[in-house]
């Protein structure tokens, strides 16, 4: 078998066999297939696509290219994945809620890159929090308190790690079969029985339209089911930042606003819906009943108790969280409106990049984020604002970053003369 023939077959629109896909994944992981041939095949896939059977084969071979996590000693294991967004703190609410409801949350999360935030960076803004547990410590903690969240290990789906890095520089990122296989290979390797996907659409999401997000969600649900997992997906909006506190420690603070102080917000609504749908997928309980259970658990304070227990178990300082002693960068600046009008819409990717400019994110994977940087956005779609009204409060360790971040926020907000007739629905559709 030759890579030349596999590339040629796909370039001409042919269907690759399981054996051909296995040959490619194994060879690329081991280094016998060079980058230039892997890039050629991925470009052929990007142009010609893959059917469901090919996607399943690619996903499973990538999943088994390295270690897989054995969670068979745990019951009712659940995992949740978001395709990324701005102010997306939902994992900080969903995971302790499900643990408080008796499910076992064994989750591996990623770091932020570009305009999107990462759960691991947010958790590491808590003094002492350890996201690098050994696999034995990880599973033991889930057994003891029902929840552990760690960074992805280097040996989990290594084929995907190599392929993703190559896709990033060969303009093959936006292939639905490659996106779906990449996400699901890692999720399946992480071992949970039940998986819920939060697939974002809009100006701050990778998928710009609801239809594209729906297609991706549907394919990933099918891939997970073929691998024997319980699956569901919510297609949700990222036309505007989900939370209003954008940055690492700031998003922990907003999670506390929801869990301890009962704040009602877009972030609370989407988080509770994700938790309810994942509880339903895992247990078979109806959505209305699951929704009631989730909201009652959050409102009772049980989720917040579990949140603090989880922080302590992973070495973090729960008192720093509860008493508001999380790091905030020293330079504070208030951005005020230069004009009158209505907040009509936003370039949410641009709003995410404003946080990066302040130091909260990464432009390259080797950047070290300022965990106390970011900003609080004080306006929402449909709001009437007047000249001089507070738009955002910025935090940074480098005061020279304030002006470009302000420019980015103002450029990314679309202010009009009249209130928008309609606002995007936060939750578009559930796919199961």
Residues 115, 86 contacting (CB under 8 angstroms): yes
Cα–Cα distance, 314 to 133 (Å, whole number): 8
What residues contact residue 194 under an 8 Å CB cut-off, 6+ apart? 76, 77, 78, 79, 229, 230, 231, 278, 281, 282
* Blockwise average pLDDT, block size 10, the chain, 432 residues: 96 96 96 95 96 96 93 94 92 97 92 73 94 92 96 84 85 89 94 96 92 96 96 97 96 97 94 98 97 98 98 97 95 97 95 94 76 96 96 97 97 94 90 90
- List the structure tokens of 281: 């997928």
How much is the pLDDT for 368? 81
By annotation, the residues acting in catalysis are 81, 160, 167, 182, 186
How far, in whole angstroms, is CA 348 from its chain's centroid? 15
Residues 289, 213 contacting (CB under 8 angstroms): no
How much is the pLDDT for 113? 62
How much is the pLDDT for 432? 87
Q: Which residue has the tokens 């506190």?
A: 245
What residues contact residue 269 under an 8 Å CB cut-off, 6+ apart? 426, 427
DSSP result, 160-205: HHHHHHHHHTTT-TT-HHHHHHHHHHHHHHTT-SEEEEEEEESTTS
Cα–Cα distance, 412 to 424 (Å, whole number): 17
Report the DSSP beta bridge partners of residue 429: 235
353 three-state secondary structure: helix
For residue 19, count CB atoms less than 10 angstroms from its CB and return exposed for 0-12, middle for 13-18, buried for 19 or more.
exposed
How much is the pLDDT for 364? 66
Structural domains in the chain?
Answer: 3-49 (1.20.970.10), 77-322 (3.40.1030.10), 331-416 (3.90.1170.30)
Cα–Cα distance, 312 to 304 (Å, whole number): 12
Residues 429, 418 contacting (CB under 8 angstroms): no
């Amino acid at each position: 078998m030759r890579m030349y023939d596999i590339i040629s077959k796909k370039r001409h629109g042919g269907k690759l066999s399981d054996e051909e896909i296995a040959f490619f994944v194994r060879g690329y992981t081991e280094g016998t297939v060079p980058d230039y041939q892997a890039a050629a095949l991925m470009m052929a896939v990007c142009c010609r696509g893959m059917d469901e059977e090919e996607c399943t084969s690619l996903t499973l071979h990538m999943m088994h290219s390295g270690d897989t996590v054995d969670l068979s000693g745990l019951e009712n294991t659940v995992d949740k994945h978001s395709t990324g967004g701005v102010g997306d703190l939902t994992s900080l609410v969903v995971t302790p809620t499900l643990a408080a409801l008796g499910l076992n949350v064994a989750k591996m999360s990623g770091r932020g890159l570009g305009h999107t935030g990462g759960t691991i960076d947010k958790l590491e803004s808590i003094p002492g929090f350890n996201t690098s547990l050994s696999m034995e410590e990880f599973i033991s903690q889930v057994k003891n308190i029902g929840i552990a969240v760690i960074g992805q290990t280097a040996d989990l789906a290594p084929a995907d790690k190599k392929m993703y890095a190559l896709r990033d520089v060969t303009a093959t990122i936006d292939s639905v079969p490659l996106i779906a296989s990449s996400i699901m290979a890692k999720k399946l390797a992480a071992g949970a029985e039940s998986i819920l996907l939060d697939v974002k659409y809009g100006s701050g999401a990778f998928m710009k339209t609801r239809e594209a997000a729906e297609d991706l969600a549907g394919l990933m649900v099918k891939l997970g089911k073929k691998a024997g997992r319980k699956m569901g997906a919510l297609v949700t909006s990222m036309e505007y930042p989900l939370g209003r506190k954008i940055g690492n420690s700031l998003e922990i603070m907003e999670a506390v606003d929801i869990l301890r102080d009962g704040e009602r917000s877009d972030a609370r609504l989407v988080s509770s819906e994700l938790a309810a749908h994942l509880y339903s997928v895992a247990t078979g309980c109806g959505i209305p009943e699951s929704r009631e259970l989730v909201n009652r658990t959050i409102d009772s304070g049980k989720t917040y108790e579990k949140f603090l227990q989880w922080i302590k178990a992973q070495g973090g300082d729960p008192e720093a969280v509860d008493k508001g002693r999380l790091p905030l960068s020293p330079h504070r600046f208030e951005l005020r409106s230069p004009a009158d009008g209505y907040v009509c819409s936003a370039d949410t990717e641009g709003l995410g990049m404003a946080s990066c400019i302040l130091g909260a994110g990464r432009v390259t994977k080797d950047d070290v984020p300022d965990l106390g940087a970011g900003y609080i956005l004080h306006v929402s779609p449909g709001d009437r604002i007047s000249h001089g009204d507070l738009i955002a409060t910025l935090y940074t360790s480098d005061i020279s970053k304030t002006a470009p971040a302000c420019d980015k926020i103002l450029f990314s907000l679309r202010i009009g003369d009249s209130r928008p007739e309609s606002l995007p629905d936060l939750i578009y559709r559930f796919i199961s």
